[in-house]
Amino acid sequence: MEIIEEGPSMHDESDEEKEEKESKHGKQNVPVQKPVVINYKSRKPAPLQILDRVKINNTLETPLSTIKGFLNVPQQTELKFNRENLKKVENQLKRAFVEFYQKLRLLKSYSFLNTLAFSKIMKKYDKITSRTAASSYMKMVDNSYLGSSEEVTKLMGRVEATFIKHFANSNRSKGMNILRPKARKQRHRITFSTGFFAGCTFALILALILIIRARNIMGKEGRIQYMETMFPLYSLFGFVVLHMVMYAANIYFWRRFRINYAFIFGFKQGTELGYREVLLVSFALAVLALASVLSNLDMEMDPKTMDYQTFTEIIPLILVGVVFIILFLPFNILYRSSRFFFLTCLFHCICAPLYKVTLPDFFLADQFTSQVQALRSLEFYVCYYGWGDFRHRQNSCKNNDVFNTFSFIIAVIPYWSRLLQCLRRLFEEKDPLQGYNGLKYFLTIVAVCFRTAYSLNKGLGWEVLALIFSIAAAIVGTYWDLVYDWGLLQRHSKNRWLRDKLLIPQKSVYFGAMVLNVLLRFAWLQTVFNFKLFTLHRQTLITIVASLEIIRRGMWNFFRLENEHLNNVGKYRAFKSVPLPFNYDEDEDKDE
């Protein structure tokens, strides 16, 4: 078979240089470089016969393929070269080329930095010893393979030429933008918009406080009715906004301490959100929610119909609908890549354990374990508007057996998803730690069920069971957070009771975080003992406890990714492996 190699890359010259050459030589014929033809052994198969031995590797995992693999059902191995499969192959090859090119760039950077280090060291040596040994030593370095080899540069040129020709339709600028994606520029428009919405948020909070005090709303008869109906509806947005603000703070500190969160999460380069973008979305949502709250502060019903205004009562439902529409919007606006990445991870969490568990999947599932109260608020939306209670602003959900049953299910779903993910990793990795982690989540499920049962059916027996299992789950969860997730409490570490490598120079931050994590872990005690704090309503106390758990989760996120980053650095994981889509069977060639 004759294989045509591509000649040297001609992309080093700009268009202006080519025009200058043409003007100098006039109509002189420019010799065209012919491709190099290499003749291999005649026993190699013809080009069309290669397809008989090339097979497509089916690396795309689906729930059906997972079930077949678990049941040892033989799967289809022969895949047809149809348009759909070839499109997947093209995308996979493109990812492989991009990843390989990034590895070459890292290797070239490694060579340059080492050469630069030699130069700096020798300059320092000459300055201290008053000698001129740098020139002779640098000649040795430049003549060495490290300083003289052009293999990496040539290989990068070949990758660029191949990628531009086959994946960018010979458009160099388009191909290089894919191979070398530029860092996202910080736009002043985003900074201005973030500040604008932040100012509007604080102004609306101040206006809400002043209106409540001026009208003495909390002293009216409808106060308890409002806290039982409208407050749980709007608390959903408070939980989401608080979690997003904590995530924005995580991004800020991850960048400050050089934690490569984009690589850890597997974000496509150039599409990851910065803390300004996350704050912009969170404050915009906060403005919409607070404006809705101000429109619902009327505590009095119509004396004739004994109903509240229907439009104002369904404003929270409209707002939830708008959020879901934006989340599923298919158009390339409002950070589509980030939204689709979130939805993909969410779908994997829901379908656990049918998908291979990756860090973004179980990280997102951990976030939902701190948003149990938000999920219950969504359940309340279904009951409040589905049963028609919004017309009279009354809460009949607690008297409904279906609603109470789903209160157990909703509270368990996040922990159940994490349990299934741990079992999947235990089955694949044979790591006993995943089994212990699964037992931790099973214990938490039991504790949550007993606490929910106690909140619905008051009784000494439920209280004792809820207290015992909740304390056990909190102790196990705290130990796992500090030792395995954060990598702390290492007795023989050079940083006593911490770990050998720390990114934050102040050790007191780690000890303070450990103490705060323990205290916030036991914040649920209020739900069992019903502490009376400043005569606050029960819904207010539930909201405060849920907010403290979200704050604890935000703190946990930083140290969890710090530990993951240090493990990646220690194991020299700087890039991800991309499986190739084709497999060429050479066994027949060997038999001939």
Q: What is the pLDDT of residue 400?
A: 84
Measured in whole angstroms, the distance separating CA 551 from the mean position of its chain's CA atoms is 18
pLDDT tops 90 at residue 421: yes
Mean pLDDT value across the chain:
82
Q: What is the pLDDT of residue 43?
A: 46
Digit-coded pLDDT (tens) for 304-354: 555 566 777 888 999 999 999 999 999 988 899 999 999 999 999 999 888
Q: What is the pLDDT of residue 30?
A: 45
- Whole-number Å distance between alpha carbons of 386 and 574: 51
- Whole-number Å distance between alpha carbons of 167 and 171: 9
State the sign of the Cα–Cα–Cα–Cα dihedral 518, 520, 525, 531: positive
Give the pLDDT band of residue 15 (cuts 50, 70, 90).
very low
Helices (H), 457-506: 460-480
**Contact at 8 Å (CB) between 146 and 114?**
yes
pLDDT tops 50 at residue 31: no
- Whole-number Å distance between alpha carbons of 121 and 113: 12
- Whole-number Å distance between alpha carbons of 298 and 96: 60
Q: Which of 148, 297, 285 is nearest to 227 (CA)?
A: 297
Q: What is the pLDDT of residue 297?
A: 76
**Contact at 8 Å (CB) between 306 and 392?**
yes
Q: Which residue type is seen at 260? A: N
pLDDT tops 70 at residue 70: no
Choice among 39-53, 138-152, 377-391 with the minimum mean pLDDT = 39-53
Specify the residue for token string 């809400």: 208
Say what percent of the chain tops pLDDT 70: 78
State the sign of the Cα–Cα–Cα–Cα dihedral 144, 147, 149, 151: positive
pLDDT tops 60 at residue 500: yes
Q: Which residue type is seen at 46? A: A
| CB-based contacts of 481, cutoff 8 Å, min separation 6 | 517, 521, 556
The residue with greater pLDDT, 288 or 90, is 288
| Cα 397–Cα 229–Cα 543 angle in degrees, nearest 5 | 100
Q: What is the pLDDT of residue 62?
A: 65
Residue 494: DSSP 8-state: S
In angstroms, what CA-CA distances link 465 with 284, 456, 468, 524? 43, 14, 5, 14
Residues 67-78, mean pLDDT to the nearest whole number: 58
Q: What is the pLDDT of residue 306?
A: 52
- Whole-number Å distance between alpha carbons of 394 and 377: 15
Choice among 25-34, 143-152, 199-208, 514-523 with the minimum mean pLDDT = 25-34
Q: What is the pLDDT of residue 98?
A: 87
Query: Residue 290 class from Cβ within 10 Å (0-12 exposed, 13-18 middle, 19+ buried)?
Result: buried
pLDDT tops 90 at residue 301: no
pLDDT tops 80 at residue 548: yes
Helices (H), 51-187: 63-70, 83-129, 134-143, 145-148, 151-167, 172-179
